[in-house]
Amino acid sequence: MNIKLYGCIACFLMVFHLGAQEVQIKAKQDQTMLRVEVSGGLSMNSVRQNLSNLIHSRYIGKEGYFVNASVAYRFEDPLIITAGISLLQKDFEFKRSGPYEGVFTDYNTTYLNFPIMLGAYLINPYKEKGWKLSVAAGGYLGHWLDLKRKGRYQSFAGLEFDDVVKEEVFPWATVEERYDFDTNENQLNRFDYGVQGEVKVIYDFSKYLGCSLGYTYKHGLSNIYKTNINDHPIYNRTSVISIGMSYKL
């Protein structure tokens, strides 16, 4: 009798297993594998350089815009591969203090980045509706499109009498220009590359439509100059907060 019982249990488990496999295969066939997303938001850039040779000097991070179009392909649940194209600002300011108080240069930049990352859905990866959490990491290549500079400096062309300090001083001059990359007199490096990571909270309204809130960190590995300034390279570090809308195919 025990043999019959064990046989029945074994048959039941086999049928259950085969049924579960069939359900899983059908669910996978019904799942959308491609997600196309358009997003935009705020970029917050900072610059890293060893300033030990420049006293009374510092870099200040600035905010800018970020727009992105990307495609995420779910090639093996819950794994995804994403690729996209981003237009963003990596702005910063160089400022001096102490005896050089008042001297500054604003760098308003525009970059084109092409990120590619490997990631996974960590929450509800098999559900077509509801909340999801995705994480991804990879790298990016890019191109420095545009630079506008605005600065304030002391002109050494001649002295002027200052009514406040009651003595002759070098006058202040304000300079504003769009940088000419064709002549590239400062030898700026237009080739941009680095590594990046991304965390994204996704809410899918239906099988096809969804929205997201994401955070991306870009760790620049390319010196913004073709040659090191006093053997001290300068790197961008950029954080991005974005909101997006997606359509699944």
Query: How long, in residues, is the chain?
Result: 249
Within its chain, how far is the Cα of 20 from the centroid?
41
Do residues 145 and 113 lie in contact, with contact meaning Cβ atoms separated by under 8 Å?
A: no
What is the spatial distance between Cα 67 and Cα 191, in angstroms, rounded to a whole number?
Answer: 20
DSSP-derived 3-state class of residue 1? coil
Average pLDDT over residues 167-171: 59
Provide the pLDDT for residue 57: 79
What mean pLDDT, rounded, does the chain reach?
Answer: 83
pLDDT in tens, 30-57: 466 899 999 999 999 999 876 666 677 7
What is the spatial distance between Cα 94 and Cα 112, in angstroms, rounded to a whole number?
Answer: 23
Most confident range, picked from 11-15, 26-30, 135-139: 135-139
What is the spatial distance between Cα 179 and Cα 65, in angstroms, rounded to a whole number?
Answer: 20
Measuring CA to CA, which residue among 48, 49, 148, 58 is closest to residue 95? Answer: 58
Provide the pLDDT for residue 160: 58
Q: Report whether pLDDT(18) > 90.
A: no
Q: Report whether pLDDT(147) > 80.
A: yes
What is the spatial distance between Cα 61 and Cα 89, in angstroms, rounded to a whole number?
Answer: 11
CATH topology of domain 33-248: Porin (2.40.160)
Between the CA of residue 105 and those of 99, 178, 185, 200, 206, what are the distances in Å? 16, 13, 17, 35, 49
pLDDT in tens, 59-88: 888 999 999 999 999 988 889 999 999 999
Q: Report whether pLDDT(172) > 90.
A: no
Please indicate whether residue 101 or residue 60 has the higher confidence score (pLDDT). Answer: 60
What is the spatial distance between Cα 193 and Cα 72, in angstroms, rounded to a whole number?
Answer: 21
Domain boundaries, the chain: 1-30, 33-248
Measuring CA to CA, which residue among 35, 131, 133, 122 is closest to residue 83? Answer: 35
What is the spatial distance between Cα 157 and Cα 170, in angstroms, rounded to a whole number?
Answer: 8
Please indicate whether residue 2 or residue 207 has the higher confidence score (pLDDT). Answer: 207
CA distance from start to end of the chain: 54
Please indicate whether residue 11 or residue 229 has the higher confidence score (pLDDT). Answer: 229
What is the spatial distance between Cα 134 and Cα 121, in angstroms, rounded to a whole number?
Answer: 4
Provide the pLDDT for residue 22: 47
